[in-house]
Structure 1
Amino acid sequence: MFRRSSPLSALAAAGTVLALAAGLSACGAGSAKDGTGSPTAAAKGSVVIGAVSNGAARQTTLHVPEVDSIRAQLPKSVTADGKLTIGLGMLPAGSAPLGYVGDDQKTLTGSEPDLGRLVASVFGLRPDLKNSTWENLFVGIDSGRTEAGFSNITDTEERKKKYEFACYREDNLGFEVRKDSGWNFDGTYKSLAGKTVAVGAGTNQEKLLLEWRGKLAAEGKKLTVKYYQDSNSTYLALNSKKIDAYFGPNPSLSYHITRTASTPQATRSAGTFSGAGASLQGLICATAKKGSGLAKPLAAALNYLIEQGQYAKWLQAWNLENEAVKTAGVNPPGLPVSNS
């Protein structure tokens, strides 16, 4: 088991916050005219996902009606103002495909704000997106400024002291290879024998990779670990076959795979591994203040989306199908206190 970095710091350390089009790192999350942070005012019961994503997702309009039985589970304090206040910790630069300023230079797009919009629609509420730094995301939940965080937040036992969770996506690391590569990670370190793999220094995935290298060395086998200063250098090495694979946070790899799909530098996923280590599947969760009474209705809304098919379309739009969960759980086992 390993200590899990905050999602944004892990992505940055791995060099996977990729360069977006000019202007995408603009500060703050401007809201569009409809006040939802969505570029178009969709009809009530409809949600636009993957909008202005700079090629990271396929824009899709999903029908998501209000479900009275799920809305009725919400505390009256949430429904009174007609909106669900959603916290995101994506400042200053954003993190594709999770959350960032879209190519209209004002709209918050990404898998996380889109899921928040879908859940709000199940509740029959207007999504009100509040973007901040990672640290201030939790300050917002603590203070009541935001009601639910949708920001690639990992379920940990330490966080459960203050928060409650409704979990909607696996927290995975991944291996990215050239599209023409025949190698796949089979879930065990043994499949890495003889390979050269790049990884970001000081990351959770580096700890895993170095442990696997040690196990292979004890068996008389070799795993070569390479480090590069930035993601561009890593991908140049991958394209020129100086490395066999890049090991990093699965969402950022999925983003790069999507962006290069129609180019000579096309890559693919060669497998994933739990960010929590071999003994526990890490989970990404909607997060609310402990005792708020929100975890159960959030999970009910997520399970409705899973059952009705909108969840699968959301994952497909953002190329995150390999992080799907079968059901959204309330406060499932998280990373132990000693590792979180």
Structure 2
Amino acid sequence: MSLRHWLLSLLVSAVCAGQTLPAASQSAPFDLGPEQPGRIRAEADPAAIARLPKGTRFVAPGALTVAITPGGPPLGTYATDARTVIGADPDFAQLVADSLGLRLALVPVAWADWPLGLASGKYDAVISNVGVTEQRKEKFDFSTYRQGLHGFFVRADSKIETIREPRDAAGLTISVGGGTNQERILVEWSRQNVAAGLKPIDLQLFDDEAARLVALRSGRADAVVQPHAQLVFVAARDRDIRRVGTLSAGWPLKSDVAIATRRGSGLVDALTHATNDLIANGKYRQMLARWGLEEEALPRSETNPPGLPKY
């Protein structure tokens, strides 16, 4: 979601709820300014640098060129100047570049364009909420850095306390995006509930976030489920919904988010080592906390772990 679409979503939600749109300074729970004075920085990591192959050539000398899709806060979006890319993924890219003793060069790209751009050498890496899959591993190497999670959120005054497994959702009406991975998971949850003699899940399918949130806030839905990070931002911004559970985006399998590099480029070992040192020294968690994403922290980074299978 772009900053423009986020502002439109905020306006729609406010109008539908009969609220006055808050001032910009009040509506942003995180720093969306271009200066980013609170960005976490790291020192050069000699052990990670030593893992770079001798003679490694970067797209731009002295820089780590990273592609990112500014899809929406808090992962990646445009700042209030409509030019600067900010968010948790840019912050992590900065930490990795610092660790390798390089400056960071961010390249905003459309999501559909990153695989070809990375394979053709337009940038050194992609840090943009890319999940590890077996199909992607045929062309790319991966260093994991965050859990891929969906979040269950309810109204702040809801009596629902926990949704973590199928039986917790039995009989509930849940707002979800049509044709999404979340819908696939909940359809299977509902099937399991019925097989166990429990009530099915009533799915309300919507194409956009604003409609899903209106359904929740109006009481037509008991809960909403979509990518966790998006709802963390909404909850912090509007303060009228709260999290009651998370699940892996690849349920029933694990689905981690990773730095993607060209397969065989030689960067993956250095990036995994740098990430693990950032986890160990606390910079990683500080970065996640800055954007409210501590729930998505990994205990350690892995190189090319098992990914989601081909469907």
Unaligned runs of 5+ in 1: 1-11, 23-49
Counterpart among 183, 189, 199 of residue 221 in structure 1: 199
Using the alignment, how far apart are the partners of 1:183 and 1:17 within structure 2?
31
Aligned twin of 1:327 = 300
Residue identity opposite 2:212 in structure 1: T
Establish whether residue 270 from structure 1 lines up as the match of residue 240 from structure 2: no
Using the alignment, how far apart are the partners of 2:164 and 2:282 within structure 1?
28
Establish whether residue 164 from structure 1 lines up as the match of residue 135 from structure 2: no
Q: How many residues align?
A: 286
TM-score relative to the length of structure 2: 0.85
Aligned twin of 1:4 = none
Deviation of the 1:192 alpha carbon = 0.7
Equivalent residue runs for 1:6-45 within 5 Å: 19-21=5-7
What SS does the corresponding residue of 1:62 show, helix, strand or coil?
A: coil
Using the alignment, how far apart are the partners of 2:193 and 2:106 within structure 1?
47
Aligned twin of 2:67 = 87
Deviations 1:51-86 (A, max 9, x none): 5359xxx96243411112211222333468111011
Q: CA, structure 1 residues 284+220, in 2 after alignment: closer, same or farther (shift >3 Å)? A: closer
Using the alignment, how far apart are the partners of 1:59 and 1:268 within structure 2?
28
Aligned twin of 2:176 = 199
Equivalent residue runs for 1:274-293 within 5 Å: 274-278=248-252, 280-293=253-266
Using the alignment, how far apart are the partners of 1:142 and 1:51 within structure 2?
33
Aligned twin of 1:310 = 283
Q: CA, structure 1 residues 17+158, in 2 after alignment: closer, same or farther (shift >3 Å)? A: farther
Deviation of the 1:315 alpha carbon = 0.9
What SS does the corresponding residue of 1:152 show, helix, strand or coil?
A: coil
| Regions of 4+ moved over 6 Å | none
Deviations 1:15-74 (A, max 9, x none): x9983348xxxxxxxxxxxxxxxxxxxxxxxxxxx75359xxx96243411112211222
What SS does the corresponding residue of 2:143 show, helix, strand or coil?
A: strand
Deviates more, 1:163-172 or 1:99-108: 99-108
Aligned twin of 2:274 = 301
Using the alignment, how far apart are the partners of 2:57 and 2:236 within structure 1?
37
Counterpart among 223, 230, 252 of residue 208 in structure 2: 230
CA contact (8 A) 2:148 2:255 kept: yes
Using the alignment, how far apart are the partners of 2:176 and 2:190 within structure 1?
13
TM-score relative to the length of structure 1: 0.78
CA contact (8 A) 1:123 1:301 kept: yes
Deviations 1:110-136 (A, max 9, x none): 111111011101111000111111222
Unaligned runs of 5+ in 2: 9-29
Using the alignment, how far apart are the partners of 1:18 and 1:185 within structure 2?
33
Deviation of the 1:95 alpha carbon = 2.3
Counterpart among 244, 251, 254 of residue 222 in structure 2: 244
Percentage of identical aligned residues: 34
